[in-house]
Amino acid sequence: MRASMKFLLTVLGTGMIVVTVFTAWLIIAFVRAPLDTVGEVDFDRPLAIPPLAESSVEGGVRTFDLRLQSGTSDLGSEEPTSTWGVNGDLLGPTLRAERGETVAMRVRNDLPEISTLHWHGMHLPAEMDGGPHQVIEPGDLWSPTWTIDQPAATLWYHPHLHGATADHVYRGLAGMFIVDDPVEAELDLPRDYGVDDLPLIVQDKNLDEDGRLDMGESFFGSAGIIGETVFVNGTRGAYADVTTEAVRLRLLNGSNARPFSFTFADGRDFDLIGTDGGLLEAPAAMDALQLSPGERAEIIVRFEPGERIVLRSEPSDTGNTFAGGQDRLDIMEFRAADRLDPSPAVPDQLVEVPRLDPEDASEERSFRLAGSTINGREMDMQRVDEVVEAGAAEIWTVTNDDGGSHNFHVHDVQFQVLDIDGREPPPHLRGWKDTVWLRPSEPVRLIMRFGHHTSTEWPYMFHCHTLRHEDDGMMGQFMVVEPGQSPTGIPHAGEHAHDH
């Protein structure tokens, strides 16, 4: 009797503590004052443009040499900052290859710890994907190869080591991967890299008093690091000189957690021409574009001679107040020359985007994201969560079940958004996508057709691209197999605890 009484009191006491802590956390999360840096940023540094990666072609194979390395960078502090990069001190070169080309990557890890390199948005065999199972030990070389078979698009690459993706990306490992194809090449679009076709890798970081990258995570919420300083291509307070009437911006939200809602200071319209997986059927005029971590977009914006205009991030329509989505941030400045070279008008029609038909879907699956789980389970490197038939079209319904700061990324395929909580998707979600934001409790129905790279051994990932959530276990694995095949078990190569 006494023992059970004591037990009851313990349970009650623990319950009250849990409720109190949870309530305090809720209050803190909702009262965090939004950050506002509008008008506060000096744009006094020329925007760095990542160099185009060198490659060599032999026997029809285009080979890139990539070296993960540590170094130091000028991030605007008095002291240089320790950073990581690919073939340099911070970020990596822009990779570029044509549809139909076979590429070979020689990725050497000269970091003091294991890492991986994942080709985000790429359709390729699972073993080449650079996910958590393709670890590269310090000093080792990893040599994936595949044939590019997807439309022209702005993709990117970054580490994907289970438990350490947030850390490695934040330290500076990321770069763009531009896929070209003849259809895009035929269109009258700006494409002079670094002149009227600019890659913009937008990231937020915090620096401590000694100029070091502050790895401390936000106290306000579970999304991880929310930076108060914005960097574009690693440049703090960046400005870009504009010499043409129109410029194509390839925007990548390369942040760990922060969503951006890109606008220009005067609210001008721009044309959205492409999303994660390629160009749209037709340009869509808009004055604000939201991108969550991992998402990309291509926009074309027009400038007047002699003007200076700031690219900003206004509060996002995320459905919650987490991850700095309510902040207003000055991002970078464009400085137009007094005389601008003429640019073509944006074509009325871009490319064909064949709609995937829900009638063709052979399978429907549902994914509920909450806590650090998907469908109640945390990532297990040895568990295959879903098995998919090669060539099958499927509908995946994905729901943010706990109101947190979540999006959803699927490897290997580009999907289309069928509807969001029953509504038609807005223009910026009507093209090919591989990552999509999840507003709380609004199911997003995705349709995708899986390719023909099969394996009974190597899985692909699906996960939240808020990197802290991914690291915490909000990730699962799927295998693409031939009809009738079953997974045979995942090799243990990827089992590494992460410790700093």
Instruction: Compute how many other C-beta atoms are within 10 angstroms of the C-beta atom of residue 141.
Output: 14
Mask for 358-397, x = binds Cu ion (CB under 5 A): ----------------------------------------
Looking at beta carbons only, is 294 or 494 nearer to Cu ion?
294
CB of 221 to Cu ion, least distance (A): 11
Choices 14-22, 360-368, 449-457, 463-471; region in contact with Cu ion by CB under 5 A:
463-471
Choices 164-172, 173-181, 314-322, 404-412; region in contact with Cu ion by CB under 5 A:
404-412
Site for Cu ion in 271-290 (CB under 5 A): none
Choices 139-147, 348-356, 398-406, 429-437; region in contact with Cu ion by CB under 5 A:
398-406
Q: What is the DSSP string of 249-310?
A: EEEEE--SS--EEEEETT---EEEEEETTEEEEEEEEES-EEE-TT-EEEEEEE--TT-EEE
Q: Tell me the CB-side half-sphere exposure of residue 75, using CA atoms within 13 A.
A: 30
* Binding status of residue 464 toward Cu ion by CB under 5 A: yes
Choices 125-133, 238-246, 373-381, 467-475; region in contact with Cu ion by CB under 5 A:
467-475
Instruction: Count interface residues toward Cu ion (CB under 5 A).
Output: 4
CB of 386 to Cu ion, least distance (A): 19
CB of 468 to Cu ion, least distance (A): 8
CB of 469 to Cu ion, least distance (A): 3
C-alpha–C-alpha distance, residues 125 and 364, integer Å:
23
Sort residue 29 into left (φ over 0), alpha (ψ -120 to 50) or beta. alpha
Structure tokens at 362: 């052979």
CB of 472 to Cu ion, least distance (A): 9
Residue 169 main-chain phi, psi, to 5 deg: -70, -45
Mask for 223-262, x = binds Cu ion (CB under 5 A): ----------------------------------------
Choices 313-321, 347-355, 405-413, 417-425; region in contact with Cu ion by CB under 5 A:
405-413
Q: Which amino acid does the sequence have at 73?
A: S
C-alpha–C-alpha distance, residues 318 and 437, integer Å:
8
Of 89, 114, 121, 118, nearest to 105 (Cα)? 118
C-alpha dihedral sign at 151, 159, 133, 448: negative
Instruction: Compute how many other C-beta atoms are within 10 angstroms of the C-beta atom of residue 287.
Output: 13
C-alpha–C-alpha distance, residues 267 and 85, integer Å:
35
CB of 224 to Cu ion, least distance (A): 10
Residue 101 contacts residue 148 (beta carbons within 8 Å): yes
Site for Cu ion in 288-307 (CB under 5 A): none
Looking at beta carbons only, is 88 or 293 nearer to Cu ion?
293
Give SS3 for 82.
strand
Of 48, 88, 76, 328, nearest to 208 (Cα)? 76
Of 201, 159, 203, nearest to 178 (Cα)? 201
* Binding status of residue 409 toward Cu ion by CB under 5 A: no
CB of 405 to Cu ion, least distance (A): 6
* Binding status of residue 463 toward Cu ion by CB under 5 A: no
Looking at beta carbons only, is 94 or 400 nearer to Cu ion?
400
* Binding status of residue 469 toward Cu ion by CB under 5 A: yes
Looking at beta carbons only, is 312 or 468 nearer to Cu ion?
468
Structure tokens at 487: 């997974």
Residue 199 contacts residue 95 (beta carbons within 8 Å): no
* Binding status of residue 406 toward Cu ion by CB under 5 A: yes
Looking at beta carbons only, is 32 or 469 nearer to Cu ion?
469
Choices 286-294, 315-323, 412-420, 466-474; region in contact with Cu ion by CB under 5 A:
466-474
Q: In terms of DSSP bridges, do strands 45-46 and 175-180 run parallel, antiparallel, or are they unpaired?
A: unpaired
C-alpha–C-alpha distance, residues 224 and 212, integer Å:
17
With CB under 5 A as the contact rule, the residue among 466, 467, 475, 481 that binds Cu ion is: 466
Question: Which residue's structure tokens are 């970054």?
Answer: 158
Residue 367 contacts residue 399 (beta carbons within 8 Å): yes
Of 302, 79, 342, nearest to 212 (Cα)? 79
* Alpha-carbon distances of 70 from 33, 91, 140, 156, 228, rounded to whole Å: 35, 11, 15, 20, 23
Looking at beta carbons only, is 448 or 464 nearer to Cu ion?
464
CB of 167 to Cu ion, least distance (A): 16
Mask for 73-92, x = binds Cu ion (CB under 5 A): --------------------
CB of 247 to Cu ion, least distance (A): 33
CB of 372 to Cu ion, least distance (A): 8
* Binding status of residue 429 toward Cu ion by CB under 5 A: no
CB of 373 to Cu ion, least distance (A): 10
CB of 374 to Cu ion, least distance (A): 10
Of 193, 185, 180, nearest to 97 (Cα)? 180
Point out which residues bind Cu ion (CB under 5 A): 406, 464, 466, 469
